[in-house]
Structure 1
């Protein structure tokens, strides 16, 4: 009994280390997350598999309690409860699909991974080890995704040690030759440090400050300037007229985050503003569950909250350029980026408003995830965040 308890403790500790290191916000450390499937497969019992799964997920998402406390200006308890609730689907799925017998273990892990990659379970499907495909197989595209899937399945089989050595070799080779995704010469992503005021300060002066920021960025041949999520605040006719009248005389197109509000709720969007006017470029497919997306409001006959346009507009166009847009939370889950890649985009544009993540690694993890996907599919990447 003592030996089995020690074994379970070591497996759970390894899972915590895997989640903590892999999701530290450093892109080249993402492959540490692939230790989780092997540790899960080595669990001697189903409760042990649940403990291993919980250790990995809770370590990977460790910034959530502090982030929630900051967002709601409260103590840690709401964040801790949400942290535990968010882990429930990940732990439940991986516990249900665990098997003592090794014959079907690889297929069962694949089923668990697929469930956590697509809605409804994929809505909280953070910390997916398959994200590391961009580090291990940069530029391989869909073939790299297949290779990564096969590798993860191999890790839970009897060939696990050999597969781990092979993947470790790819990791070392990639780290030795790593370069970040390219940013197109005519594009510029602008990072801001406006804290919680971004998107909440609705005064004319704030809009003029943003316009000045764009004017400063639109130089040296830059033709597309990207601002973070919520940069424009509420997208009203007045704000639209101000921006269109200013940008009309420029050669640059501005792509910026905003909120479009009506009686039933709001859409978290990207707006494109150029010489020909403005348009809603993109409506977020998956807003943050709980704080933004609150479907129970409509179930109870109420309104409010952000809408989720689950499988809409995965690829949008600015001029002749096809864009894969990812707003904030969409960078942490699998299906939005893969859906966008099916559309054959020319570039990935990832924006966020991470003021509430101060003191955590959440924004760094978002950036690392976006970089990994861009490297896997060999796509240029434009990033723009507010902190």
Structure 2
């Protein structure tokens, strides 16, 4: 029994490191997460499986307590509580599905990987090892996803050393030849540093500042300019008229984040604007649970989750796969979008509340990995 305790403590420590290193914002380090299924398979019992799973997840999502404290201007306790609650799905699924029977282990791990990639468990399915597919097999698309899934299954079998060597070889080759996702011709993603004021201060001077930023990008040759999540504040007819007038006479399309409010709550959206007018392009499928999406409280002021709606949108003949903020941290929104073979991935966020954490860097790395897997151009726009 004492031997099992020592083994569990050692494996939990390794799981913490395996959660910390890949989820630090360096895209080429993502394959370190592939060590998690090996650790999960080596634990001596179900309780140990829960401990190593919790250690991995909590380390990977370590920026959450500080981010929540900043968002709500509070101390760390609410963030710590949310951090723990968010981990329940991950360590619960992996603990329940763990088995000491080696023949059943591959099927159990595959089931846990699928559950953590899809709602409802996938709503908090951060740090999913399947994200590494884009680093291991860039450009392979669905075949790369299948190869990575097969590798994950192989890592919980007795031949895991051979599988690990093969995956390490793929990782080394990819890292040596790595190139960032391409930016589509004439597209610009604008990063802003406006902090918490973006979206909250949406008065005329702020709108004019954003318009000037867009015009500057257009003068540099951009035909499509992307602004971050929440950039416009509330989307209203007045805001639409202001921007339509500002774009008059220019062959320019602007995609920007905004909120659409009604009596039942609000939608976190992306709007498309040009000289011909503006419209809501995309409604966020998965807003941030807790701070935005709050169905368990019956809060009519919360953001709506559109789940599997509008995985792609059409703009000027191009098929776009939008990902707003939190959607970049979980697997199913991007995988659903890729089923429709989009032309461009558009990833936006408003990460002012993540200061002094690695959350925005992780979002960027995840978006880059998915874009490289499916060989899709990527446009990123964040506010910090």
Q: 1:95-244 alignment to 2 at 5 Å?
A: 95-244=95-244
Q: Residue 304 of structure 1: CA displacement?
A: 1.4
Q: 1:285-304 alignment to 2 at 5 Å?
A: 285-298=285-298, 303-304=300-301
Determine the C-alpha separation between the residues in 2 that align with 1:36 and 1:108. 14
What residue in structure 2 maps to residue 381 of structure 1? Answer: 378
Determine the C-alpha separation between the residues in 1 that align with 2:202 and 2:45. 55
Deviations 1:56-80 (A, max 9, x none): 0000000000000000000000000
Determine the C-alpha separation between the residues in 2 that align with 1:83 and 1:223. 41
Contact kept? 1:350, 1:381, Cα under 8 Å: yes
Most deviating of 228-237 and 212-221: 212-221
User: What do you get for the CA RMSD once the two structures are aligned?
Assistant: 0.8
Unpaired stretches in structure 1, ≥5 consecutive residues: none
Q: Residue 239 of structure 1: CA displacement?
A: 1.0
Deviations 1:9-60 (A, max 9, x none): 1111111011000101100000001100110010101010000000000000
What residue in structure 2 maps to residue 262 of structure 1? Answer: 262
What residue in structure 1 maps to residue 329 of structure 2? Answer: 332
- Is the counterpart of residue 53 in structure 1 residue 53 in structure 2? yes
For the residue of structure 1 that corresponds to 2:219, the secondary structure is coil
For the residue of structure 2 that corresponds to 1:278, the secondary structure is strand
Deviations 1:111-134 (A, max 9, x none): 011011101111111000000000
Determine the C-alpha separation between the residues in 1 that align with 2:244 and 2:83. 42
Q: Residue 297 of structure 1: CA displacement?
A: 3.9
What residue in structure 2 maps to residue 369 of structure 1? Answer: 366
For the residue of structure 2 that corresponds to 1:218, the secondary structure is helix
For the residue of structure 2 that corresponds to 1:202, the secondary structure is coil
Determine the C-alpha separation between the residues in 1 that align with 2:30 and 2:225. 29
For the residue of structure 2 that corresponds to 1:225, the secondary structure is strand
For the residue of structure 2 that corresponds to 1:116, the secondary structure is helix
Determine the C-alpha separation between the residues in 1 that align with 2:296 and 2:301. 10
Q: Residue 4 of structure 1: CA displacement?
A: 2.0
Most deviating of 324-333 and 272-281: 272-281
Please give the TM-score of this superposition, normalised by the length of structure 2.
0.99
Q: 1:318-357 alignment to 2 at 5 Å?
A: 318-357=315-354
What residue in structure 1 maps to residue 302 of structure 2? Answer: 305
Determine the C-alpha separation between the residues in 2 that align with 1:325 and 1:248. 26
What residue in structure 1 maps to residue 249 of structure 2? Answer: 249
Most deviating of 236-245 and 372-381: 236-245
Determine the C-alpha separation between the residues in 2 that align with 1:17 and 1:376. 25
- Is the counterpart of residue 358 in structure 1 residue 355 in structure 2? yes
Please give the TM-score of this superposition, normalised by the length of structure 1.
0.98
Contact kept? 1:297, 1:304, Cα under 8 Å: no
| Runs ≥4 residues deviating over 6 A | none
Contact kept? 2:50, 2:95, Cα under 8 Å: yes
Deviations 1:231-269 (A, max 9, x none): 000111111110111112211100000000111100000
Q: Residue 3 of structure 1: CA displacement?
A: 2.4
For the residue of structure 1 that corresponds to 2:157, the secondary structure is coil
Determine the C-alpha separation between the residues in 1 that align with 2:297 and 2:88. 22
Unpaired stretches in structure 2, ≥5 consecutive residues: none
Determine the C-alpha separation between the residues in 2 that align with 1:295 and 1:249. 44
Q: Residue 157 of structure 1: CA displacement?
A: 0.6
Determine the C-alpha separation between the residues in 1 that align with 2:105 and 2:2. 26
For the residue of structure 1 that corresponds to 2:21, the secondary structure is helix
Determine the C-alpha separation between the residues in 1 that align with 2:376 and 2:86. 31
- Is the counterpart of residue 315 in structure 1 residue 309 in structure 2? no
For the residue of structure 1 that corresponds to 2:117, the secondary structure is coil
Q: Residue 222 of structure 1: CA displacement?
A: 1.2
For the residue of structure 1 that corresponds to 2:288, the secondary structure is coil
Determine the C-alpha separation between the residues in 1 that align with 2:67 and 2:167. 33
